[in-house]
Every structure is written in structure tokens, then in C-alpha cells.
Amino acid sequence: MKAARFALTHLLQGLALVLAVVVLNFVLVHAAPGDPVETIAGASGGMSEELKAQLRTQYGLDKPLPVQLGVYLGKVVQGDLGYSYFFNLPVAGLIAERVPATLLLVLSAVLGAFVIGTTLGVLSSRKPNGWLSQLITVLALIGFAAPVFWMGMMLIILFASVLPIFPVAGMRSVASTADGLAGALDVLHHLVLPALSLALVYLAQYSRLARASMLDVLGSDFIRTARAKGLADRVVLYKHALRNAVLPVVTMLGLQFGNVLAGAILVETVFNWPGLGRLAFESVLRRDYPTILGVLLFSSIVVIVMNLLTDLCYRLIDPRIKTA
């Protein structure tokens, strides 16, 4: 009963937040400088004023902004995200086509950063003054300070010029028509560099946070009690300390999922990865309002869902929250 009430409360809060995000995104996008009709006219090599007026009427851009907002909200409630000005396709279809690539990239980067970063943080906490801990700290600081697009370009230089091991653009080989296992391996081969460049930045943060959290937990009374009972260090470290120390890392993981999506825009642009980030970048350049709003709406929903899942994971990991 408590779990159902918890889920329902967060669901209602999420819906209210989505509504606020839709309204704010709509106002900000339409307040930005630039005219989509002029952009279309420039891309087509020129256009008469009559045709421009016809396009504005067709897209509803000749109506006052509150009227446009009301029409857009009515369509969104019905699941209609509108038509793309540039691609001349339904926005929902464009997003559905690009979602798998973005989810593959983001989830691979997040999972890799979480697992490897937490593992490095735990290892460095065992001997805080040892050489391994110092090395992990230095590498974490470098990764934390490096911008994600710079990391991507450095990986391209390294693995395209110095060590040509991985492809540096696209999701599949141009001449590849392989399906099944061969096709999956081809996608994974192209995924390595984009996922690595996105994961390295957050891996550094998770390792530092996991190290600090583990050091704090290892100094707790219940850890000293467990050691006084004669439990092995491995049991104390992984069974008792890690479960409590991982809570801040899980929190950071959920809160930073939106930042990972934002970083994916840069990574997809650098590596020409055919995902939502690339679609958003192209739409911004072309003033494609419906597509921009659709991508922002989808990203907002994903972030809200991730925050809800983070709260649920917290309840599963920490029995104190479940009891409360």
C-alpha cells in the first residue's frame, strides 16, 4: 500500500513537472532569435513573400503565441508532436527512429561509468595512501576536468591516426549489410569510442564519490563491530560497507542522467552518431521548432522517470527508507 501511494504521488508530481517543462520549452524556443520560414527559404534558394505567408499560416506561426501554445498542448495530450518543418515527417516517428541509438549510447556509458567508477573508488579506499589510490585519484581528476567533446576528439586522434583500431563515425559500416550477430558486433565496434568518451567524464566523478563514501562508511561503528567479530575483510568491505557507500553514487547517477543526455548531444555530433542528440543539433540549426520541442519533451520524460527509478532503487538498497 505504501509503495503504491509512493509511486502514485511521484507519478502525479512527474506529470505536473512535464506540463511545466512543455510550457517553458515552448516559450523559450519561440522566444529565441530566428524565423523557421526564413531558414526554409534560405535553404531552398529563395522564396516569394506570398509563399512565406502561406507557410506561416500552414505551420500556425501567424497566430499569437498563447494560441500556438494552446494548440500545441492539445496535440501533445493526444500524443501528436506535430510535423517537422525540415524533414517533413511526424516528429514522433523521427524520435522513435533515433531513440534506440541514443539509449544504447547513454545506457552503455552510464552503466560502464557506474560499475567501473564504483569499483575504482572501492579499490582506492582500501589503502587510501597507497600508490593505486593516488594513481586513481590523478586519473579521476584528469577525467573530471576534461570536457566531453575534447575527450571525444582526443580519442578520434588516438584511434584514427595513431592506433587505427576503432571506427570514428557512424553507427554501422557504410558497406556493411550484415544482420544478426555480425551486425550487432559491427554496432558494438562503432559504439566503443562514443560510449568511452561519454563515460570517462562521469567515471571520474563516480570513482571520487565512491572513494569518499567508502572511507566515511569504513570509519563507522558497525564496521568496527563487524571486524571485531572476526569477519573477513572481503565480507566487511563488499557485504556491509559497499551497500551503504553506494547510496550517494546511486543518487548522483539519477540526478546526472540529464547531464549525460546533454553530453550525448556533443558526443553524437563529434562521432556522427545517429541519435537524438544529432537530431536536436540539426533541428536547432534549422529552427525546426516541432522537432526541438519533441526532443526536449522526450528528454524531460526520461529524466523524470530516471529520478523516480532512483528513488525506488534507494528504497530497495537502504532498508531504513523502506521502514520509514
Compute the distance between CA of residue 213 and CA of residue 237 in angstroms, rounded to an integer: 12
* Residue 83: strand pairing partners: 90
The residue whose grid cell reads 505551420 is: 59
The angle subtended at Cα 277 by Cα 275 and Cα 281, nearest 5°, is: 120
In a domain, 120, yes or no: yes
Compute the distance between CA of residue 109 and CA of residue 156 in angstroms, rounded to an integer: 17
CATH code of 313's domain: 1.10.3720.10
Compute the distance between CA of residue 263 and CA of residue 309 in angstroms, rounded to an integer: 21
Compute the distance between CA of residue 73 and CA of residue 128 in angstroms, rounded to an integer: 54
pTM value is 0.77
Q: How far is CA 223 from CA 78, 186, 227, 237, in A?
A: 54, 47, 6, 9
DSSP 187-228: HHHHHHHHHHHHHHHHHHHHHHHHHHHHHHHHTSHHHHHHHH
In a domain, 102, yes or no: yes
In a domain, 137, yes or no: yes
What is the total count of domains within the chain? 1
In a domain, 234, yes or no: yes
Give the residue numbers spanning the domain of 250.
96-288+306-323
In a domain, 86, yes or no: no
In a domain, 229, yes or no: yes
Backbone angles phi, psi at 299, to 5 degrees: -65, -40
In a domain, 168, yes or no: yes
Q: Which three cell numbers stand for residue 156?
A: 578520434
pLDDT in tens, the chain (324 residues): 566 676 677 778 778 888 888 888 888 887 777 777 777 776 666 667 777 777 778 777 778 888 888 888 888 888 888 888 888 888 888 888 888 888 888 888 888 888 888 888 888 777 777 777 778 777 777 777 777 778 888 888 888 777 778 887 777 776 666 667 777 888 888 888 888 888 887 887 888 888 888 878 777 777 777 777 777 777 777 676 777 777 777 777 777 777 777 778 888 888 888 888 888 888 888 888 888 888 888 888 888 887 777 777 666 666 555 555
In a domain, 162, yes or no: yes
